[in-house]
Each structure stands twice: as structure tokens, then as C-alpha cells.
Amino acid sequence: MRRATLTTVSAGALVLGLGACTGSSPSTSYFPLESGHRWAYDAATEREDNSVEHEAMVLSTLGEEPLDSGGRAFRRRSASGVDYWLRADDTGIFRVATKTDLEAEPSVDKPPRYVLKTPMAVGTQWQAMTTSYLLRRKNDFPPEIRHTQQPVMMQYRIEALGEKLKTRAGEFNDCIRVQGTAAMRLFADPVNGFKDMPLNTTEWYCKGVGLARMVRSEPAQSTFLSGGTLTLELTEWQ
């Protein structure tokens, strides 16, 4: 799966190390960090022309390790060759760095990027930068908007607790639903001119499992642009 998508799930996806409190923190129980876990997802992208693309994504936790930038963090690795370092404290879970196989050193997140923020209660909010993963220009090059537009701020909010969720990996009874909303101002067409294009994300984090589903919606409804919906669904985990 594309790196940009992963950053909305960890998402996707940062200040102090978690240390020995991994098993006892309510936040980490909804986003496990310790080594030995593995998640497999199906990423289905449905575009506005009704075409559908499927892509497999696999993530694994590799345990806690020191970072050259200082401190310790828990590393996750995607099968596509991207590493993510995360920490947790009483403010929540947050990402501190990322690295692709093509980079010599990790890129530090400044500021840290929260995945889940405490308190785990309806109404808890936080912000993180995002970009467009689905919007494309129909005729210009490069078609992907993210290659030419600056990132925008997305507002995240815990919308529900204790939700039930059914996935191909099983049914889960205790899930947190998080909603993310943002807008990117783009030139839609000569008639409408510039418009605020919505970027919406809904994520479900299930207790003891982690991210079980994500739906990213970026509608365009424009003569110059095309959009779509990305659905990330858990198919297997351990």
C-alpha cells in the first residue's frame, strides 16, 4: 500500500517512550505497540468512474528500540518497505518518525503525529497534517494532487466508544470510532473556480486489535478533477 495512506491509518498514524506500561495503558490496548503482532488489510480504492482497485497491505510490530534522534520508540514495518516509530504516554499514542527503504535515516515528525489521544472519550480532539490521496487531475501531469499541493490540517474527533464492527478478520465488540475532516482548496473548473474539496476519514480502533477499518472519502464532482473512496479492511491479524 502507498505510504501516504499509511500515514492517515497510523495512521494515516510522539514525545516520550512507553516503556513497561504497554499492557496497562488504555490507549495502547486500542493500538498495540509491542512486538509480535501482524495485521493484513485489503485496501480497496473505488474511483468516481466506478473502477475499483485492490491492494494488499501487511504491517508487523518489531518491538522497542533506540532512535538516533533520541529516546526509544516502538517500530512498525510495512511489507512495502516503510518503517514507523511510535511512542505513548498519558496523552495518547503518537508517531515520532518514518523511513522508507530508499532513505538513509528516519524523518522525524515535527510536531509528533497523534494516532489516538486521551482521554478516550467522545469529543476528544486533535489535529494532524494530511494531504490528498485520491484526488487527481484529469488532464494535467502529474495527476496526483499530493505531488503539487501543500498539506492541510485535519481535525480528528472521537465520535463513539464501544461500537461493534464486523470485518473479514472477525467481529469486534469494543471499538473506538474516530472522524477526521479537512478541506483542500483547488481549482475545480472554469465555471466553479476554486472550491474547498472535502477530505474525510473514518477510522475504527478495536480493543486488543488496533485499526480494523478505515474509510477515506475524497469526492471531486468536477470536470477538471476526479476523486474516490479508499476502504481499508482488516482481513487477518495476530
Take residue 84 and report the three cell numbers written for it: 514507523
pLDDT higher than 90, residue 221: no
Q: Among 23, 92, 95, 17, which Cα is nearest to 59's?
A: 95
Pairing of β 72-78 and β 82-89: antiparallel
Q: Taking the domains of the chain in order of start, what are their residue ranges?
A: 3-237
Cell 494532487: give the residue: 145
pLDDT of residue 26: 66
CA distance 14 to 138: 38
- 89: which strand partners? 92
Q: What is the pLDDT of residues 3-56, one digit of tens each?
A: 344 333 333 332 222 222 334 466 789 999 999 999 999 999 999 889 999 999
pTM score, whole prediction:
0.86
Give the whole-angstrom CA distance, residue 45 versus residue 173: 26
Rounded Cα gap, residues 237 and 235, in angstroms: 7
Q: Using the 8-state DSSP alphabet, how is residue 144 labeled?
A: B
| Nearest Cα to Cα of residue 219 among 178, 190, 188, 194 | 188
- Which amino acid is it at 115? V
pLDDT in tens, 68-117: 888 999 999 999 999 999 999 999 999 999 999 999 999 999 899 999 99
